[in-house]
Structure 1
Amino acid sequence: MLHTRKVFFKRIQCAVAASLALAVLPGAASAQSAEAFPSKPFRLLVGFAPGGSNDIIARVIGPRLSEALGQQVIVENRPGASGNIAVDGMLRAPRDGHTMMVCATGTLAIQPYMTKNLPYDADNDIIPVIHLVNAPLMMLVNTAVPVKDVNEFVAYAKAHPGTINFASSGNGTAGHLAGESFKAMAHVDIVHVPYKGTGQAMTDVVSGQVSLIFDQPVSSMAHVKAGKLRALGIAGTNRLKAFPEIPTVSEAGVPGFAPVGWSAICAPKGTPPAAIDRVQKEVAKVLQLPEIQQRFTNDGLEVVGGTQQDFLNFLVKDKRKWSEIVKGANIALD
């Protein structure tokens, strides 16, 4: 009897030891995390201050994604360094799928080509999950600027070289590159003023401290409708469905000017594939909801969605486009 008990307890000890050994293996941990996903609140980081386009996009899809995942979706703003503080926060979080971010054009397609000491490797540290929207930028001026259209602005800028400032949500963002591209293509001398987010930049444009901004309609049209800003043109290839009366900058005076930004969801390298697949599929469904599509269309955004591979294919072409804009504008940041 005593011998039998010893054998029994020995088997239990071996089983426990084996389970503990398996639990500490990276592959086993990832498998367990993937199977349990989501097992706690899902954090969606935004690299800019509240009030900007990426913040608005995240808060529009957040409640519906929360319903789909069965867990609370927490939108967490980490403004600063043109979105890089949020990237750092995502890369430092556990790679269990519960922390992802709304990545913008600058994160993956601009900064890698213009920032020498970028604190992350865009091609290897970040996994593209799903393309949310394309966001044609709008060329906006404070109403105190004495111009009514793009041609008048170009003439005014040439008559006042170096005195007109344009705001952006940070160095290396789509708004920054749009301004630099306009500067080069229109042959005008305008000065860039970077902020920590669109909300802060917009405040200074509305107040008249800065004259110009290239921003997405979702965070700017309310000011246009209130008569605080004047929309001169859309920096896209086509007029927007929601604002057909506003011409493209290309047709209004600067041919070929069409730097379109975008927003997407990205995850840190090492995130369980099952978690990425689940988020991609649920977000794709949310983007197909009629009320979400209507809301984004009204905000001047073009809903994209699609598969992870669709987004990867898009990035190949988009990176090429923005790298050429960076090169053409001769911009380099330390």
Structure 2
Amino acid sequence: MHKKWKILLAATCMAGAVLSNTASADTYPSHAVTMVVPWPPGGPSDIGARPLAAHLQKMLGQSVVIDNRAGAGGNIGSNMVAKAKPDGHTLLLSSSGPFVINPYIYAKMPYDAEKDFTPISNLLQVPLVLVVNPSVPVNNLQELLAYIKEKKGDFQWASAGNGTTQHLTGELFRMTAKLDMVHVPYKGTAPAITDLLGGHVPMMFDSTIAIVPHIKAGKVRPIAISSPERSPLLPEVPTFAEAGLPGVEASAWYGLFAPANTPAEVVNTLNKATLDFMQTSEYKRILDETGSRPVGDTPENFAAFVKQEAIKWKDLVQATNTRLD
């Protein structure tokens, strides 16, 4: 009799747990949702995060609060979400770095980028543009390649910092074209662009978000874009493949994540709400203004994309021996 009661009690507990999980998924969200952005306010991540948060708030019926937790290349805010309760009430809106670059350039990571998160949806894919100061006597990619080779190593290029997408895209360009040039890392996009405009460095890669205003103003000359097709924002700028250098494809992408083991029902609810946001005029405005590609997808396809990106950047980091500590 005692054994039967134990079995009955265990079965009751299991049933209760199942019902509890179902109830939590059915009533999600039960309170305010925090969307962590692992960068300072006003950066490129906020361009997608704030309108998405407003839309999720409307769809989910609970407040969605942005929490900017900057530091360590995005690792601090990302780790906060990795360690959060996996119930969908703490989310991460992050760029690609903390997931597919940082694990290979930092000797120690506070989280496992592959195992500690549940991908929900990609949000934006932002191409990068190779630009030069107008004083550089070139008008297209083939002229630039010839010019750099003539310099025999006496040529500098700027980036937003070691290990950034801008830096590694530049390394991809350097390796693909077999160029000898000196990398000058800055502490962010803004100071790098300032020195580019001032003629202190002749060339850099940067996202369309940051560099297009300077292209439109005629302060820098665009050479090629890193997307597989031309950007509607810069229809006159060829892709690298069109310009004669296939293989230089890269983007700074932004996506929504939850902690690992978040219930599938909650993930699907968030994915559906995010895809709904991508049908809005606000999202289309963001695409138009940033030159981004629409990339809404299933959680499974986004997870597969992140894995592919991790392999790509890992290989490049190892080939260039890029380390931050």
Cα shift at 1:26 = 8.8
User: Matched residue of 1:108: which SS?
Assistant: helix
Any stretches of 5+ residues in structure 2 without a counterpart?
1-12
Q: Distance in 1 between matches of 2:52 and 2:191?
A: 23
Query: Alpha carbon RMSD of aligned pairs, Å?
Result: 3.1
Any stretches of 5+ residues in structure 1 without a counterpart?
1-21
Q: Distance in 2 between matches of 1:103 and 1:298?
A: 19
Determine if the alignment matches structure 1 residue 96 to structure 2 residue 56.
Answer: no
Contact 1:297 1:303 in 2 (8 A): no
Cα shift at 1:83 = 1.3
Contact 2:85 2:259 in 1 (8 A): no
Residue 305 of structure 1 is matched in structure 2 by: 296
With over 3 angstroms needed to count, the CA separation of the structure-2 counterparts of 1:65 and 1:147, relative to structure 1, is farther
Residue 149 of structure 1 is matched in structure 2 by: 140
Cα shift at 1:210 = 4.8
After the TM superposition, which residues 54-73 of structure 1 pair with which residues of structure 2 at under 5 Å, given as runs?
54-73=45-64
User: What whole-Å deviation, never above 9, does each CA across 1:233-281 have from its counterpart, x for those lacking one?
Assistant: 1012221133210111333353321123321111122434333222111
Residue 81 of structure 1 is matched in structure 2 by: 72
Residue 254 of structure 2 is matched in structure 1 by: 263
Q: Distance in 2 between matches of 1:28 and 1:67?
A: 27
Contact 1:143 1:228 in 2 (8 A): yes
After the TM superposition, which residues 87-236 of structure 1 pair with which residues of structure 2 at under 5 Å, given as runs?
87-158=78-149, 159=151, 161=153, 164-168=156-160, 170-186=161-177, 187-195=179-187, 197-199=188-190, 201-206=192-197, 210-236=201-227
Q: Distance in 2 between matches of 1:53 and 1:257?
A: 22
Count, aligned residues:
310
With over 3 angstroms needed to count, the CA separation of the structure-2 counterparts of 1:29 and 1:58, relative to structure 1, is same
Amino acid at match of 1:161: G
With over 3 angstroms needed to count, the CA separation of the structure-2 counterparts of 1:93 and 1:301, relative to structure 1, is same
After the TM superposition, which residues 282-321 of structure 1 pair with which residues of structure 2 at under 5 Å, given as runs?
282-321=273-312
Contact 2:162 2:322 in 1 (8 A): no
Q: Distance in 1 between matches of 2:110 and 2:210?
A: 28
Residue 242 of structure 2 is matched in structure 1 by: 251
Cα shift at 1:296 = 0.6
236-245 vs 105-114, greater mean Cα deviation: 105-114
TM-score, with normalisation over the residues of structure 2? 0.81
User: Matched residue of 1:137: which SS?
Assistant: strand
Cα shift at 1:49 = 3.0
With over 3 angstroms needed to count, the CA separation of the structure-2 counterparts of 1:143 and 1:94, relative to structure 1, is farther
Contact 2:47 2:286 in 1 (8 A): no
Q: Distance in 2 between matches of 1:198 and 1:60?
A: 23
Q: Percent identity?
A: 35
User: Matched residue of 1:252: which SS?
Assistant: coil
Which has the greater radius of gyration?
A: 1
